[in-house]
Amino acid sequence: MNRFDQQTLIEEVLYILEKTGGIDYYHLFKILYFAERLHLAEWGSRLNADDFCALDYGPVPTHLYDAVKELKSGSVHSSLAAMLAEAVEFAGEDAPNVLLAKRRPDMDFLSKACIEELDKSITRHSTQSFRQLKDASHDDAWKEAYHTSGLRTMSTLSIAKAGHADAAMIDYIREQLEIDDLLK
């Protein structure tokens, strides 16, 4: 992820933390996943550049998860973890997995569509139990990636399908992915 993509992801995290008053990173990851799913189905584009991997308890934004682990360990090495450390902190001993914002999000990094999908995801998923989130996030996209060998990276098309994107939107996303591949 380039610096702009990293900053966008940080601002999305801060937006979620501001709206929820702080939340554990399991809920944060699932809110981001469901918002990604909605955004793909509605707009045909990704919410951010982080890839989701299918882990045991559901989809996880790979780079953000690594950054959170670095921050939690106190050993920050990656640029994303350094940016995250400037923006968030852990709540403390009583809530060691809860993240709190150190500042407000820079709304210039968030489109209206992004905010709309984040709001929908926050409203629906921020108060769900661990079990409810796990069950809801173990969708067909997760199953497809989880049962493959290797990194278990979830495909953009599969996430869009899990978000109920229609056939025309799936075709559009497929074309955009092909163009992106050609431009690399």
- Is 0.85 surpassed by the pTM of this model? yes
104-149 pLDDT, tens digit per residue, is 999 999 999 999 999 999 999 999 999 999 999 999 999 999 998 7
pLDDT of residue 156: 97
Listed as own residue / partner, the contacts of 157-164 with beta carbons closer than 8 Å and 24 or more positions apart are 159/33, 159/36, 159/37, 159/40, 159/52, 160/37, 160/40, 160/41, 160/44, 162/37, 163/37, 163/38, 163/40, 163/41, 164/41
